[in-house]
């Protein structure tokens, strides 16, 4: 494109952006006025929540409102943006087409070979409300590139990293878009190596699903990440895409009010993560149910016995398909009815006895007085021995409100605290062995020897026990957004769950995910070759076999956009030593900087690291630098480098910097599943990789 042509294109797009921003401002003002109206009933409150969500979406959409344009062979022109905007004429075509709309899809998928009715695709670069550049991509000729909007993509990849992930709606690639828009009726597991955009796909898929399936927003979407640091890194993406109906969490924070307080040995973590705990805990909670026997209850000073057969029948009915506490409540209702029936029956029997005695007395009197007494005078409802249905219902309600009856039932069938119940089990090795044949004595002893504070592997077990016992519903607060309600309630059922770094989940963590989405509308993204968790899974089939069997769909991201070709060339031997079954992703860009390494004596390591970091910071000023090191070195390095991210390979998972310094790569490889960890460490940079190795003593 000539300079004059580019200036004309920029002016053209500036005029359009000005019109779009003006329309956005008018819509925002209308929404602000509508939100000022009082909410007088539930319908009005629901409407205000919808308007508030729309206002939030349109407010955040000012920056980057328009980023693309597609020109059709038929002369039609459509602008693509962060949100959809209609002109003042609501019947006209959209002024700006939402990037998630089906009509916008050719922006991401059209190629010169498959132009999909387009003649040109234009990427529009903006800063605030100013158009700063355009990149035109003709679609009516031959092309050798496999990238969509190559110039815009490479420009975005070469930008400095700020420590926060930004949206990628203007540079999504075809294989990413295919996964973002895939169906959501069952589990979709996406394998993708470093730099393939797994997290980008996961986040934009959330935004796409909430836009496409409006009812999903009523249930919210759960986004599970590997660490709080990772969630902080991606925190601004979904709000920038205008989505508020998403809850972000880690597996450790999914149980409200419970905090992980300690680390534990990997061997214990692996044991607690196995699928065997789910049936074991089911048997454990089932064993907490009381056994049938005669129950003696007191009512108004008299004892009433509910026989064992009636108790057994009530237990069978109450426990069928119900968690512990709901079964307990259902049983209590039946006991209230049984006791009411027993009281009514005793009253009837007593009145029958009284009536028989009265009739005999009257008969003797009749013989003496030679007179007759009309029996109908004594056969009314007051003396026939039968309570009316209304009277029995009233009696049952009084029994249900009785503190004495409630205390009796609490003693015989106590309510249970999930934490107390689980701690009792985990501290009792013989009990664990009685409940499952799949634990060895040594393994049960290892689990029982652990201290009380919760470890990460305890959270899925606690969640399972709480689910089997049953929760008390959290009260709803007026005006609350769906995501806020979902965040407070452990048993909330989500419309969809997205799991990032899904290869790290244990079997019991997968069970925790499925409890929150019984429909199994799940998207899991990860790289099985980056697995560092204590479980033993080395393939996706192994990772999900215990919870999903074969009922899941596989997808793959094959192109590495982030990590330079120079760095990816180092990963082959590392993957081989990690036992990988996958081909590494194919890098499509070069940074022009070869990875470098420096070997120094152990005593010189601190100074060498400090100097290397200073050089990298200077070279990548305005961007970001990160350090990855073995667990044993991170504390000292953090003291040496305050304010700089110094992480283990596990903590660095999912993050990226302009430059990464890997300290003691052999030390990382020597850790459990260390070759997988080294693969993670080597692939965190977008531009430059340095390695510092301690020389042998």
Whether 600 and 658 map to the same domain: the answer is yes
Domain containing residue 479: CATH number:
3.40.50
Of 515, 540, 560, the residue at which a domain comes to its end is: 560
Give the residue among 217, 62, 159, 82 at the shortest CA–CA distance from 657: 159
The predicted structure's pLDDT at residue 143? 55
- With a pLDDT cut of 90, the percent of the chain lying above it is 64
Verify that 581 and 680 share a domain, yes or no. Answer: yes
Q: Is residue 158 part of a domain?
A: no
Q: Which two three-digit tokens encode residue 593? A: 């900087």
Residue range 448-507, pLDDT digits in tens:
998 889 999 999 999 999 999 997 555 555 556 678 888 889 989 999 999 999 999 999
Q: Tell me if 175 is assigned to some domain.
A: no
Predicted pLDDT of residue 39:
81
Q: Is residue 195 one of the residues assigned to a domain? A: no
Is residue 188, in this structure, part of any structural domain at all? no
* Within-domain flag for 157: no
Are residue 273 and residue 302 in the same domain, yes or no?
A: no
Smallest CA-to-CA distance from 458 within 621, 268, 603, 592 is with: 268
The pLDDT tens digits for 240-265 are 676 778 899 999 999 999 999 999 99
362-382: per-residue pLDDT in tens?
Answer: 666 665 554 344 444 444 444
Q: How confident is the model at residue 357 (pLDDT cuts 50, 70, 90)?
A: low
Domain boundary among 127, 144, 161: 144
Nearest to 280 by CA among 148, 404, 421: 421
> In this predicted structure, what is the pLDDT of residue 149?
56
The per-residue pLDDT of the chain, averaged, comes to: 88
Please report whether residue 179 resides in a domain. Answer: no
pLDDT one-digit tens code per residue, 397-416: 999 999 999 999 999 999 99
Which pLDDT score, from 0 to 100, does residue 238 have? Answer: 77
pLDDT of residue 156: 62
Is residue 696 over pLDDT 50? yes
The phi-psi region of residue 323 (left if phi > 0; otherwise alpha if psi is between -120 and 50; otherwise beta) is beta
Give the pLDDT score at 502.
96
Q: Cα–Cα–Cα angle for 521, 526, 530, nearest 5°?
A: 155
Number of folded domains that form the chain: 4
For the chain, what's the residue count? Answer: 697
Q: Do 545 and 587 belong together in one domain? A: no
What is the domain extent for residue 504?
200-285+420-560
Mean pLDDT of 416-433: 97
User: Same structural domain for residues 353 and 277?
Assistant: no
Mean pLDDT for 330-336 is 96
pLDDT in tens, 189-198: 999 999 898 9
- Please tell me whether residues 129 and 208 are part of one structural domain: no
Q: What is the mean pLDDT of residues 341-356?
A: 84
Give DSSP secondary structure letters for 327-371.
HHHHHHHHHHHHHHHHHHHHHHHHHHHHHHHHHHHHHHHHHHHT-
Q: Is there a single domain that holds both residue 238 and residue 296?
A: no
What single string gives the DSSP state of each residue in 390-430?
HHHHHHHHHHHT-HHHHHHHHHHS----HHHHHHHHHT-HH
The dihedral region occupied by 153, where left means phi > 0, alpha psi between -120 and 50, and beta the remainder, is alpha
Helices (H) and strands (E) in the chain, counts: 29, 20
Residue 571 shares a structural domain with residue 641? yes
* pLDDT one-digit tens code per residue, 135-174: 888 887 655 555 565 556 656 666 665 555 556 777 788 8
121 in the same domain as 82: yes
Residue 187 lies in a domain: no
> Both 14 and 140 in a single domain?
yes
Q: Give the domain-ending residue among 560, 582, 601.
A: 560
585 and 533 share one domain: no
Q: What is the pLDDT of residue 360?
A: 67
Lowest mean pLDDT among 198-207, 227-236, 422-431, 500-509: 227-236
Average pLDDT (589-611) is: 96
* Residue 54 in domain: yes
pLDDT value at residue 164:
55
Domain co-membership, 555 together with 429 = yes
Counting residues of the chain whose pLDDT is more than 70, the rounded percentage is: 89
Q: Is the pTM of this model over 0.75?
A: yes
For 33-67, how does the pLDDT look when each residue is reduced to its tens digit (9 = 90+)?
A: 988 888 888 888 878 877 887 887 788 777 789 99
Structure tokens, 335? 């006991």
CATH code of the domain covering residue 571: 3.40.50.300
């Amino acid at each position: 494109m000539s300079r004059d042509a580019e200036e004309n294109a920029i002016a053209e797009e500036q005029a359009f952006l000005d019109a779009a921003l003006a329309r956005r401002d008018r819509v925002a003002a209308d929404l602000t006025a509508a939100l000022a109206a009082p909410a007088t009933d539930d319908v009005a409150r629901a409407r205000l929540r919808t308007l508030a969500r729309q206002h939030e979406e349109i407010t955040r959409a000012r920056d980057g409102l328009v980023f693309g344009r597609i020109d059709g062979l038929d002369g039609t022109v459509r602008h693509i943006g962060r949100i959809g905007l209609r002109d003042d004429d609501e019947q006209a075509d959209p002024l700006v087409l939402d990037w998630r709309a089906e009509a916008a899809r050719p922006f991401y998928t059209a190629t010169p070979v498959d132009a999909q009715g387009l003649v040109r695709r234009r990427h529009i670069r903006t800063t605030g409300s100013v158009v700063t550049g355009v990149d035109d991509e003709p679609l009516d000729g031959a092309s050798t590139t496999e990238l969509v909007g190559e110039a815009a993509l490479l420009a975005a990849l070469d930008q400095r990293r700020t420590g926060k992930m930004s949206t990628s709606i203007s540079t999504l690639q075809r294989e990413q878009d295919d996964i973002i828009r895939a169906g959501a009726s069952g589990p979709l597991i996406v394998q993708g190596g470093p730099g393939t955009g797994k997290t980008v796909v996961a986040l934009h898929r959330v935004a796409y699903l909430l836009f496409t399936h409006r009812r999903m927003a009523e249930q919210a979407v759960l986004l599970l990440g590997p660490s709080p640091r990772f969630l902080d890194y991606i925190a601004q993406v979904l709000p920038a895409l205008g989505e508020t109906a998403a809850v972000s969490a880690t597996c450790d924070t999914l149980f409200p009010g419970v905090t992980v307080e300690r680390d534990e040995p990997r061997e214990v973590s692996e044991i607690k993560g196995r699928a065997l705990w789910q049936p074991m805990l089911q048997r454990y909670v089932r064993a907490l149910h009381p056994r049938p026997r005669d129950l003696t209850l007191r009512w108004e000073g008299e004892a009433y016995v509910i026989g064992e057969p009636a108790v057994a029948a009530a237990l069978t009915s109450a426990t069928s398909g119900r968690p512990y506490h709901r079964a307990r409540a259902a049983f209590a209702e039946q006991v209230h009815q049984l006791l009411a029936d027993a009281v009514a029956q005793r009253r009837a029997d007593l009145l029958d006895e009284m009536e028989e005695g009265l009739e005999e007395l009257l008969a003797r009197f009749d013989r003496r007085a030679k007179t007759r007494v009309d029996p109908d005078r004594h056969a009314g409802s007051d003396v026939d021995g039968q309570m009316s249905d209304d009277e029995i219902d009233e009696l049952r309600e009084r029994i249900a409100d009785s503190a004495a009856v409630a205390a009796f039932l609490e003693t015989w069938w106590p309510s249970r605290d999930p934490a107390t119940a689980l701690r009792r089990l985990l501290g009792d090795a013989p009990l664990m062995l009685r409940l499952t044949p799949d634990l060895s004595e040594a393994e049960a002893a290892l689990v029982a020897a652990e201290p009380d504070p919760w470890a990460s592997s305890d959270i899925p077990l606690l969640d399972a026990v709480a689910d089997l016992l049953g929760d008390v519903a959290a009260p709803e607060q007026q005006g609350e957004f769906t995501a806020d309600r979902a965040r407070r309630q452990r048993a909330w059922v989500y419309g969809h769950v997205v799991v990032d770094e899904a290869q790290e989940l244990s079997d019991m963590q997968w069970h925790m995910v499925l409890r929150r989405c019984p429909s199994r509308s799940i998207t899991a993204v990860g790289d099985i070759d980056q697995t560092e968790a204590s479980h033993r899974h080395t393939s996706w089939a192994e990772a999900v076999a215990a919870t999903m069997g074969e009922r899941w769909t596989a997808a793959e991201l094959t192109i590495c956009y982030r990590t330079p070709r120079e760095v990816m060339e180092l990963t082959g031997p590392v993957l081989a030593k990690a036992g990988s079954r996958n081909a590494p992703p194919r890098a499509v860009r070069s940074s022009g900087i070869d990875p470098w390494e420096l070997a120094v004596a152990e005593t010189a390591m601190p100074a060498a690291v400090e100097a290397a970091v200073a050089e990298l910071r200077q070279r990548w000023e305005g961007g970001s630098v990160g350090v990855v090191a073995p667990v044993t070195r991170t504390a000292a390095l953090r003291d040496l480098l305050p304010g700089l991210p110094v992480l283990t390979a596990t903590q660095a998972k999912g993050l990226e910097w302009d430059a990464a310094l890997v300290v003691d790569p052999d030390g990382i490889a020597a850790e459990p599943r260390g070759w997988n960890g080294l693969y993670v460490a080597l692939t965190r940079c977008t531009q430059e990789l340095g390695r510092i190795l301690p020389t042998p003593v």
